[in-house]
Chains A and B, each alone.
Chain A
C-alpha cells in the first residue's frame, strides 16, 4: 500500500485532479464505508471523509479514513475545530499520519446548533486558519503549538476550504490568502452553481498570485431533485444557486431530474476545466456515490492517473 498522497502526486504532476466525498454512517458498520470505497475506487484520486458533518454524530472521520486506506484509496481527513481543542487536534494529526493518512482538510465545522447535539459545547479553541498553521508547523518544522518539538514529523498534504459565495465578497480572497499563507497546499471550494461569481472570485485570486501558491479544486454537487435545489438555495448558509438552475430542474419530469442534475454537474466541471487557476474538481455527491463514476467519465476525466504501487 502506498504511503504517499496520490492527490499531491496528481496535482504536482500538473494533472487535473478529481476528489470525491464519503460521508460516514450514523453507526458502527465498517461495511458502509467499504461499499462506498468500492464505488469510488479508481474513479477519483482521493476521497474526503467528512467530520460529523452538519454536527450530526457519525462514525469518526479518522476511523473511516483508515478503512478507506485499507481498501486502497487515498483519504482526505476532514477535521473540524468545533469538537476538539488544540491538544486533541494535534494528537489526531499525529495519529492520522501514523495510520498512513496523507491529506487533511482543516475546517471550522458546521455550528453545533444545526445538528442532533444542540446542547453540546462548541470548542473552537483554534480557528481553521490557525489549525492549518499548526499542521504546517508540525510537518515542516517538527514543532507543535507552543514550540515543543516532535520526535517524528507527520507527513500531511494540507487543505483548507473556501466559500466564494459568502459575504463580504471582497474579503473572501483576503481570507483565501490567509489560508494559503498559513500553509494550505490545496483548497476545496463550496459547491459552485453560480459560475460567474466563482469566476470573479477566481480572477481576484489569480491577480493576487494565489493560484500559483496553492491548488484550487472547484467544488461541485450533483442535484438529485428540484426539491433538493430549492432546499439548498433557501436553507443552506453560504450557498448560491441561481434561479436558472432551479428552472432547469423544474423543466424536466421527476424521473429525469437525477440525470439532469448530473448533466448540470458535468457542464460545470467542463467549464471549470477550462479556467486557468483551477487545478481540479471536488465532487460532493451527497449520499450518492454511485453518481461519481458517471460524472467523472462524462467530464472526460477517466481514467485517473495510476498510483505508484509501493
Chain B
C-alpha cells in the first residue's frame, strides 16, 4: 500500500485559511489502511478543523466526504454532484489522489492534508514499514524476497557494508540490516552461493530514465 501521515493541523490551517467553503475529502483505500486518510480520520480532522475555526471566530464551512478510491476517475467523478458549493478541497488521499482530484476539477483549489510516505506493509497494529521502491524491474527473486534497494540504507546490491552489527543497520539500530536478512533467507534456501557473483549496477531507466512513467495496456482499453 501507499502510506501517508497527516500533516500538522497548524500547517493545514494555514493552507486552508483563504477559503470559506472547504470539503475534507478522504480516501477509503491505502490511506484508510494506514489510518491517515480513511473515513474515520477524515471525520476526526474535519471536526478538529471546525472546532478550531469556531474558537477563532472564523466564518467557514467545513464538510467531509470519503471516496472509495481518490486516484481512480470512476470514483472521483462522484464529486460532480457535490463539489459546486466548495472553493477548496482538503484531500486526505495520497499524492496521486490529490492530483487526480485537481486534474478533474481545475477550478477548485485542492490542498494536500497528508505527507505521502512510501510503498510498504502493515507490520503490526500502528506500524508500517517501507519495503518497495517501485523501481520498475523487480529483483526480489535474486535476493530471497528482500529488497536491498528499499531496505538497505545505502541501497547496496553487493552487501553487507561494514556497518552491519548484530543484524542491525548502522544508520539506526531499529532498522534490521537488509543484508543480514538476505543472507539468512538465501542460506535457508541453500542458495547462498548466488551471492558470490557480483550483482551488476541497477538499470535506473525503468524508474526515472524517461521522465514520469506511464503504463499503457491496449488489452485493457475499450
B158 and A175 contact, CB distance less than 8 A: yes
A129 and B154 contact, CB distance less than 8 A: no
Q: Which residues of B contact A (CB under 8 A)?
A: 153-167, 170-171, 177, 180, 183, 195-196, 198-202, 204
Can you name the residue of chain A whose Cβ is closest to the Cβ of B166?
A167
A171 and B160 contact, CB distance less than 8 A: yes
- Residues in A with CB closer than 8 Å to B165 are 166-167, 237-238
Can you name the residue of chain A whose Cβ is closest to the Cβ of B162?
A163
Taking CB atoms and an 8 Å cut-off, the chain A residues in 124-173 that contact chain B are 124-130, 133-134, 145, 161-163, 165-168, 171
- Residues in A with CB closer than 8 Å to B164 are 166-168, 238
- Residues in A with CB closer than 8 Å to B156 are 108, 124, 127-128
With contact pairs A111-B154, A171-B183 given, residues A130 and B162 touching in the complex (Cβ less than 8 Å): no
Minimum Cβ distance to chain A for residue B26 (Å): 31
Give 4 closest A-B pairs by Cβ, nearest first. Answer: A163-B162, A237-B170, A237-B163, A129-B158
| Chain B binding surface, main DSSP class | loop
For the complex, is A37 an interface residue (Cβ under 8 Å from B)? Answer: no
- Residues in B with CB closer than 8 Å to A111 are 153-154, 163, 170-171
- Residues in B with CB closer than 8 Å to A178 are 158, 196, 198
A178 vs B202: C-alpha distance when bound (angstroms): 17
Interface string of A69-110 (1 = CB under 8 A from B): 000000000000010001000000000000000000000110
B155 and A127 contact, CB distance less than 8 A: yes
- Residues in A with CB closer than 8 Å to B170 are 111, 237-238
Minimum Cβ distance to chain B for residue A192 (Å): 13
For the complex, is A122 an interface residue (Cβ under 8 Å from B)? Answer: yes
- Residues in A with CB closer than 8 Å to B196 are 174, 177-178
With contact pairs A111-B171, A122-B154, A125-B204 given, residues A161 and B198 touching in the complex (Cβ less than 8 Å): no
30 pairs from A and B in contact (CB 8 Å cutoff): A108-B154, A108-B161, A109-B154, A111-B153, A111-B171, A122-B154, A122-B155, A125-B201, A127-B156, A127-B158, A128-B158, A130-B157, A130-B198, A130-B199, A130-B201, A145-B201, A163-B162, A165-B162, A166-B160, A167-B164, A167-B167, A168-B164, A168-B180, A168-B183, A178-B158, A178-B198, A237-B165, A238-B163, A238-B164, A238-B170
- Residues in A with CB closer than 8 Å to B162 are 108, 161-163, 165-166, 190, 237-238
A168 vs B179: C-alpha distance when bound (angstroms): 9
B161 and A133 contact, CB distance less than 8 A: no
Q: Which of B159, B180, B195 contacts A127 (CB 8 A)?
A: B159
B163 and A166 contact, CB distance less than 8 A: yes
Minimum Cβ distance to chain A for residue B136 (Å): 15
A171 vs B161: C-alpha distance when bound (angstroms): 11
Minimum Cβ distance to chain B for residue A171 (Å): 6
With contact pairs A129-B198, A167-B180 given, residues A175 and B160 touching in the complex (Cβ less than 8 Å): yes
- Residues in B with CB closer than 8 Å to A145 are 201
Minimum Cβ distance to chain A for residue B102 (Å): 26
For the complex, is A181 an interface residue (Cβ under 8 Å from B)? Answer: yes
Minimum Cβ distance to chain B for residue A42 (Å): 31
Q: A125-B201, A127-B157, A129-B158 are in contact. List 6 more A-B contacts (CB 8 A).
A: A124-B154, A128-B158, A163-B162, A166-B163, A167-B177, A237-B165
A161 vs B201: C-alpha distance when bound (angstroms): 19
- Residues in B with CB closer than 8 Å to A130 are 157-158, 198-201
Can you name the residue of chain B whose Cβ is closest to the Cβ of A126?
B201
